[in-house]
Amino acid sequence: MTFQEQILQGIPNILPKIKLYDLNINHAPKRKDILSVEEKKLALRNALRYFESKHHSELLIEFTEELNSYGRIYMYRFRPDYKIYARPISEYPGKSEQAKAIMLMIQNNLDNAVAQHPHELITYGGNGAVFQNWAQYLLTMKYLSEMTDEQTLSMYSGHPMGLFPSHKEAPRVVVTNGMVIPNYSKPDDLEKFNTLGVSQYGQMTAGSYMYIGPQGIVHGTTITVLNAFRKIKKNPIGGLFLTSGLGGMSGAQPKAGNIAGCITVCAEVNAKITQIRYNQGWIDEVISNLEELVKRVALAKANKETVSIAFLGNVVEVWERFYEENILIDLGSDQTSLHNPWAGGYYPTGISFEDANIMMAKQPELFKQKVQDSLRRHVATINKHVSRGTYFFDYGNAFLLEASRAGADIMAENTIDFKYPSYVQDIMGPMCFDFGFGPFRWVCASGKQEDLLKTDAIACKVMEEIAKSAPAEIQQQIQDNIKWIKGASANNLVVGSQARILYADAEGRIKIAEAFNKAIANDEIGTIILGRDHHDVSGTDSPFRETSNIYDGSRFTADMAIQNVIGDSFRGATWVSIHNGGGVGWGEVINGGFGMVLDGSKEASRRLESMLFWDVNNGISRRNWARNEGSIFAIKRAMEKQPLLKVTIPNAVDDSLFLD
């Protein structure tokens, strides 16, 4: 069967042959045994309902083995024989160009070169899933190949509920992930519901089909590192940035450090993922010996090198050894998947990677103890470095939160706040998000590199034109992004789809998108798919990350994210998503995203202006109401440009009124 025929087939009537477990692929760790005997039967019934009854007896044996061996039912047998990657949009079967674009994005998320655990349908973060099993993938792709522009596909945590009549202006797909009742949103609830096959952790761009490989976070990390050095008033050249994690999102850190111009040491315990990042050119050197690492960093400092070094080992040992050797760490952070601390998100020191994977499945309580012991030790050493001048920040991975739960010395004197800020709280929030600047991204659906280069030039021209009249308050943000887009091609950022990202405000996003749409209409480039990271101005309510610089008491509310996705859906988005979890963990955040297909039409032009304006200014208005100065400035400027926008501005309160 051809690729198109296999897509149209969906779940095959004849069972495919059992597939061998591929040891060359980076696999998810075994999940802990959390279901009762009766619940396991329910999980199996839930899995078998995708298949005709004549196959149940055979599949029951197989799925039982998967459940016992891996802690999940992935349905490996049904993994397609064809290679999964972002094909040119013309190669997908279907009646709707918008649906074809979504198929392209789904396949990009599951590309072996992009996904962290592709055979488990996990894109990044250890558990950020596109689907729960391969039957869901097959059925979803079939629905997308059949749908028209007058239908909408409803996705429930990876399960395609079905195609429903709608209209051309409606989203083609509406995605929800992990939207459980709040009282059932603890970590073990996720494990239970995911094992039952009824809910999943979609992370952010994993479960919303908008991940573009490590490039997506390289840009944000580059901006973060540059602004962090600005904050401590140091030149990045010769400066040392120590962090950890080389997985899906964290793998961007070494490349971002190189672009910023500093020395980056990034520790990782997984040899396979370290080698992948090295092969992709995201790391300059790999070192597995602490003695060698100390000497190499000393040399890099002396020569003021720009270099990225992966240390194959535990980051706690690096912090401790650098302290003993009196090596100054200018910037310190951590980007392991601590939103998922008990299932492979963070590996404790003093135990091998292989032994840790066995322990987390067979002795979960002991593994949890080891992780928390390691976190206390981790924080103790960071505190010592900070006393010597290190600037440490939480990189949005729940490091501070989980360290506090482990009893580490991480709380401020008031016992309410953490000693160290979130990078959003201290850097990205006040410097970018409050002014409306966030991660705007696009994908060239043609798959052509020349289209990507043309879009780079178009975006750069637009940004340079905006810079001519932009106010001083946002000149730095604009200039950083002009520099970024000019160097994007040379930095070899593409992994998977022909995609690009930059930080822009509503004005920049709308003008860039409109320029793309005109270029498509003039046959200069092919179809473009717009999107963004959920990690943005407006899409995410996350009290320890995206909304950590909200100080009016509303950072634990989720009105903004819900309003965002509802507003996007009726203003022209091609697909929308809303998730529980993402970045900092299940139950800790609500986040929403979108995708929008540009086809060169007048309708696309109208939709992009309406939707992108709302998508940014919804968040600015909320940040303005929280009394954030940058957002007050930005929303007033937006109202001057758009007379139909009327936003309530907060009145200042004199602090002296509250003096004792």
Please name the helix (run of DSSP H) or strand (run of DSSP E) that holds residue 220, with its range, or none: helix 215-231
Rounded-to-integer distance, Cα 516 and Cα 405, Å: 47
- Rounded to two decimals, the pTM is 0.89
Beta strands in 568-654 (DSSP E): 575-580, 590-598
Q: Residue 307's beta-bridge partner residues?
A: 263
* Model confidence pLDDT, tens digit, residues 28-61: 989 989 999 999 999 999 999 999 999 999 999 9
Rounded-to-integer distance, Cα 526 and Cα 519, Å: 8
Rounded-to-integer distance, Cα 356 and Cα 344, Å: 8
Q: Which two structure tokens, joined as six digits, stand for 81?
A: 């024989």
> For residue 426, with 0-12 CB atoms within 10 Å meaning exposed, 13-18 middle and 19 or more buried, which class applies?
buried
Q: Which two structure tokens, joined as six digits, stand for 566?
A: 């509802």
Please name the helix (run of DSSP H) or strand (run of DSSP E) that holds residue 287, with its range, or none: strand 285-287
The answer to whether residues 428 and 227 touch, using CB atoms and an 8 Å cutoff, is yes
Does the annotation list 125 as a binding residue? yes
Nearest residue to 76 via CA among 88, 97, 62: 62
SS3 (DSSP) at 94? coil
* pLDDT at site 248: 65
Instruction: Count CA atoms within 13 Å of residue 439 on its CB side.
Output: 31
Does the annotation list 126 as a binding residue? yes
Rounded-to-integer distance, Cα 535 and Cα 546, Å: 7
Rounded-to-integer distance, Cα 218 and Cα 333, Å: 15
At 332, give phi and psi (nearest 5°). Answer: -130, 140
Does the annotation list 479 as a binding residue? no
The answer to whether residues 290 and 318 touch, using CB atoms and an 8 Å cutoff, is yes
Residue 14: DSSP 8-state: S
DSSP characters over 147-214: --TTEEEEEETTEEEEEEE--TTS-SEEEEES---GGG-SHHHHHHHHHHTS----TTTTTTT---ST
Domains and CATH numbers, the chain: 3-196 (no CATH), 214-421 (3.40.50.10730), 429-643 (3.40.1770.10)
Buried/exposed code over 574-594 (b: 16+ C-beta within 10 A; e: otherwise): bbbbbbbbbbbbbbbbbbbbb
Rounded-to-integer distance, Cα 433 and Cα 438, Å: 6
Does the annotation list 116 as a binding residue? no
Rounded-to-integer distance, Cα 138 and Cα 76, Å: 12
The answer to whether residues 596 and 574 touch, using CB atoms and an 8 Å cutoff, is yes
Distance of CA 254 to the CA centre of its chain: 17
Residue 486: DSSP 8-state: H
Residue whose token pair is 């040899």 = 271
Q: Which two structure tokens, joined as six digits, stand for 9?
A: 């087939």
CA distances from 577 to 108, 476, 590 (A): 17, 32, 11
* Model confidence pLDDT, tens digit, residues 412-466: 888 888 999 888 888 889 999 999 999 999 999 999 999 999 999 999 999 999 9
Distance of CA 576 to the CA centre of its chain: 16
The answer to whether residues 612 and 505 touch, using CB atoms and an 8 Å cutoff, is no
Residue ranges in the chain modelled with pLDDT below 50: none
Tally of residues, the chain: 660
